[in-house]
Amino acid sequence: MVSIETSENTSADANSVQGFGSFSRRNFIRAAALTGSIVVVPGFLAACGSPKTAPTNAMLRVGWKSDIDTFNPFTTVTTEAIEVQSLIYDKLMDYGTDLKIEPSLATSSTAAGNTITYVLRESVTWHDGTPFTADDVVYTFDLIGKNQLGINAQWLTDYQSVTAPDAKTVVVAFKAPQAFDPGLVIPIVPKHIWEAKTVEQIKKDTNASPIGTGPFKFEARTQGQLVSVTRNDTWWGKAPSAIGVSWSLYTNDDLQAQALKNGDIDIIPQVAPTVFDGLKADKDLTSVALDSFSFHHIGVNVSKVPGSKGNPLLLQREIRQALGYALDRDQIVQIAYAGYAKAAASILPPSFGDSYWEPSADQAINNNPDKANALLDAAGFTKRDSKGIRQTKDGKALSFRIIAISSTSVDVRTAQLFQASAAKVGIKLTLAALDSDTLASTVYNTDAPDWDLFVWGWDSGVNDPSYLLGVPLTSQIGGNNDVFYSNPEYDALYTKQATEIDPAKRVELVKQMQQMFYEDCAYLIPVYLEKLQSYRTANWSNLTETPGGIVFNFTRDNYLKAQAGN
Amino acid sequence: MPYIARRTLTLLSSIVAIVTFNFLLFHIIPGDPIRLIARSQHLTADEIAKLHHEYGLDGSLFSQYLTYLKNLLHGDLGFSFTYQEPVIDIVKRTVGNTALLLTTSTLIVVIAGVLIGVFAGSRHGKRSDSSTVIAALVAWSLPTFWVGMLLVFTFGVWIGGLPISGIKTPHAIYDNIFQKWQDIGMHLILPTLTLAIVDIAFFVIISRTSLIEVMSEDYMLTARGKGLSRRTIVWGHGFRNALLPVLTASVLYISALVGGAIQVEVVYSWPGMGLLTYNSVLSRDYPVLEACFLITAVAVLVANFATDLLYHKLDPRVGVQK
């Protein structure tokens, strides 16, 4: 190699630079040449063949875009980590591919009054061979309930106690009836492993080798690269066809799409819209656009605190409604989202099934400039300036500021389209694009919010209406409530639905809330997002196109039912 | 004061300045990290206040600074918001991968760059010289990530055969350590090549200029007068004396590489500090970002310090006080 020739040439020369310890210039060059060839040579040798791998044909290989945080169910927040944990840990109850509730570690769950009673499955063992008992369930619920640990603590705010009257029954008592069964989201952890740790230790534990009762056992994790699990052959349910599942990290959308085409991975749960058309054209792949549990919205500052610097005109419902009538949702879907989204209305996306409320044609507050003009005329904004912008009686322009995250191009585009349609009814919007941190701290400035309108979105982390419906609660001002909406009637309905254990009655309350919030127009929701996914048809079959996604959803069933080969 | 002592003092005061600046940078930027963590959860105002306390964000700026210094001296770089583990553990896992990538590409860039530079310099004024310089400068002006993408599509897609992502083949089973290194070597090819294509001009230009300068010295005329062959003159006499600036430039180059390394690591999903920095920006993981910045800054300072010492050793005239 060239570099070796160099070292020979220099060694022939007697002219060496004076000392630097024993590390003369000649030695430096020699060492460099040697190291260079050591590093480079294997690379070229290797070009002859790639290493053997474990059989991957029955391994379900997922490609994802962001790394997981931790395997600790009491501190984790990322979708990716919750996905992996859902295969390692079982919950008491779970969702099927139709998102209907199914038994899991518990064979039944019964809510009565303030308690929920679970009857546990028998002869289940942990991955380390220890038998699973009612004590494990008691330990898990008590740990979260008493210490309010992690994201699942929100389901145990009314928690009172948990008991095991016999070896296969667990009774959880609450201060009020619970409409949502927390058994659906809480992964059950082994008491014999966790009880040795204090709460403070648990908060800082990474749980690097998780032990669960689930259908897959933890195998390996390389941070920033790969996570893999292998099939648990002693699992209580029907053995999955996949011998394992792996999740590889790709930081680049094009590279990830290429890996799917090459067959390096089997499924991409979050396909970027820019590469989706390319994947759709590939005959080896099935590419789907599924309903999701997310929306993007335009928030309106309705804060009534004395320090609020929002335009006080927005406290008038008619003006907010006029903005709603000006908004053209179909146009935003077509132009800002290139068709990969659905025109929206209520705060709950249609993926919530029965709970979803849709306005009738005459209830719809959407793309109706005549109605907007009528509302504004009636509110007294009849004067217009030379550019057609409406004015108050004392000559102030009807003008608002709108902010969006500069790197979220769909939001910026949405704001621009909204600007144009608002101008048509005589409302001036001034757009400023900010980075996401600045936007978040501007919006969430509870004591003195200095903004009028903004654009961003929410995603429901749970298959229950309570999370999204809970965002605009008065009690969430200072928390999630990003528009400072406060409506005692809405708050009362929320409490009522959260404690209503009759599903049909609850749906009625939930729909009433959605309509109330929709008509108040503190949120103008232009779109429900779609989840774009793509998988290799030749490698896997029997995957159900569940709303919310084949994988990366509230159900893990597609991992269990996927059939290797076709 | 002796030269080395002066340089050490400068190094130490620069590190203190960097540490302070780094601390201030992350504490005066807008945005409340707790608010960002809390946004994905249902938290009441009380719980948010509790989190502020837990993350030590409730004291005065000065008391936070003292805590930060104290922790730093104990090797405590903070606790990652995302990974929920000490930052030092995360850094330990990634810093080696970056060191491997940077060492390999530095060696290749330096060796190949110098050879090409000497080749061009020894043909000073000829067409082969000017075309080499132009080619190097064109490559130098290409964006690193773009060259990376281009190589991905050339070698990963059209020609195939080279791995385009990660540091190891997923699920690989190695019979021995050599196979493992072979696999890592394969994964190193494209990231290294990307850095080499863009950065090679740095050394081509330096060694070319340096050689041209050396070739005009009197002793080169003497060598020619002795009737030595052109090859011996260039490689035996010229090359060796032209190396001094190259050596110092190589150490400096390592610090200049950091920016390129971030882009290359992101394009090729190489699990090093660059990718960690990128992901931490996306997830607003301030403690990790703070540590990445600090380590990078200190590495650059130490590299500069090493250059100063090396230069002083190789050319004792440097640093002599009059």
In degrees, rounded to 5, the angle at the alpha carbon of residue A166 between the alpha carbons of residues A165 and A170 is: 60
Q: Which of B45, B26, B27 is nearest to B35 (CA)?
A: B45
Query: What is the C-alpha to C-alpha distance for residues A466 and A509, in angstroms, rounded to an integer?
Result: 11
Q: What value does the mean pLDDT take over residues A465-482? A: 90
**pLDDT of B135 strictly over 60:** yes
Better-predicted residue by pLDDT, A434 or B52: A434
Q: Note the pLDDT tens digit of each residue in A297-339.
A: 999 999 999 999 999 999 999 999 999 999 999 999 999 998 8
Dihedral sign for Cα A467, A468, A472, A478, please. Answer: positive
Q: What are phi and psi of A316, to 5 degrees?
A: -85, 120
pLDDT at residue A50 in the model:
59
Neighbours of A209 (CB within 10 A): 14
Query: What is the C-alpha to C-alpha distance for residues A208 and A332, in angstroms, rounded to an integer?
Result: 44
Q: Note the pLDDT tens digit of each residue in A386-440.
A: 889 999 888 888 999 999 998 888 999 999 999 999 999 999 999 999 987 788 8
Least confident of A166-175, A380-389, B242-251: B242-251
pLDDT at residue A232 in the model:
96
Which residue out of B53, B79, B84, B174 would a mutagenesis test of the A interface target, given it has the greatest number of A Cβ atoms within 10 Å? B84
Better-predicted residue by pLDDT, B294 or B56: B294
Neighbours of B181 (CB within 10 A): 17
Neighbours of A367 (CB within 10 A): 18
**pLDDT of A442 strictly over 60:** yes
Q: Note the pLDDT tens digit of each residue in B68-116.
A: 888 888 888 888 877 888 899 999 989 999 989 988 998 999 999 999 9
Q: Which of A267, A348, A239, A185 is nearest to A549 (CA)?
A: A267
pLDDT at residue A29 in the model:
44
Neighbours of B241 (CB within 10 A): 17
Q: Which of A444, A175, A349 is nearest to B43 (CA)?
A: A444
pLDDT at residue A330 in the model:
96
**pLDDT of A36 strictly over 50:** no
HSE of B222 in the Cβ direction (CA atoms, 13 Å)?
6
* CB-based contacts of A54, cutoff 8 Å, min separation 6: B171, B172, B173
pLDDT at residue B7 in the model:
87
Confidence of residue B42 (pLDDT cuts 50, 70, 90): low
Query: What is the C-alpha to C-alpha distance for residues A343 and A329, in angstroms, rounded to an integer?
Result: 5
> What mean pLDDT value characterizes chain B?
84
CA distance to partner chain A, nearest, from residue B195 (Å):
15
Neighbours of A459 (CB within 10 A): 15
Query: What is the C-alpha to C-alpha distance for residues B71 and A513, in angstroms, rounded to an integer?
Result: 49
Contact A305, A378 (CB under 8 A): no
What is the model's pTM? 0.78
Of residues A10, A50, A440, nearest to B39 (C-beta): A440
Better-predicted residue by pLDDT, A312 or A254: A312
Task: Produce one character per residue of A482-512: b if its CB has 16 or more CB atoms within 10 Å, e if not.
Answer: bbbbbbeebbebbebbbbbbeeeebbebbbb
ipTM over 0.90: no
Q: Which of B148, B143, B122 is nearest to B233 (CA)?
A: B122
Which residue out of A17, A41, A408, A447 would a mutagenesis test of the B interface target, given it has the greatest number of B Cβ atoms within 10 Å? A17
B26: amino acid identity, one letter = F
Residues in chain B within 8 Å Cβ distance of A3: 111, 115
Residues in chain B within 8 Å Cβ distance of A77: 37, 40-41
Contact A238, A52 (CB under 8 A): no
Confidence of residue B188 (pLDDT cuts 50, 70, 90): very high
Q: What are phi and psi of A216, to 5 degrees?
A: -130, 145
Question: In this complex, is the C-beta atom of A17 within 8 Å of any C-beta atom belonging to chain B?
Answer: yes
pLDDT at residue B80 in the model:
84
Residues in chain B within 8 Å Cβ distance of A441: 30-32, 35
pLDDT at residue A465 in the model:
94
Written as six digits, the tokens of A386 are: 């030379």
Provide the pairing of β-strand A244-249 with A59-64. parallel
Confidence of residue B31 (pLDDT cuts 50, 70, 90): low
Q: What value does the mean pLDDT take over residues A3-13? A: 32
Of residues B36, B48, B313, nearest to A440 (C-beta): B36
Q: What are phi and psi of A305, to 5 degrees?
A: -70, 145
Neighbours of B215 (CB within 10 A): 20
Q: Which of A136, A64, A97 is nearest to A463 (CA)?
A: A97
Neighbours of B138 (CB within 10 A): 10
Q: What value does the mean pLDDT take over residues B38-43? A: 53
Segment (H or E) for B203? helix B177-215
Q: Which of B107, B77, B126 is nearest to B199 (CA)?
A: B107
Give the relative orientation of helices B144-151 and B177-215 as an angle to the nearest 10 degrees: 130
pLDDT at residue A302 in the model:
97
Contact B223, B234 (CB under 8 A): no
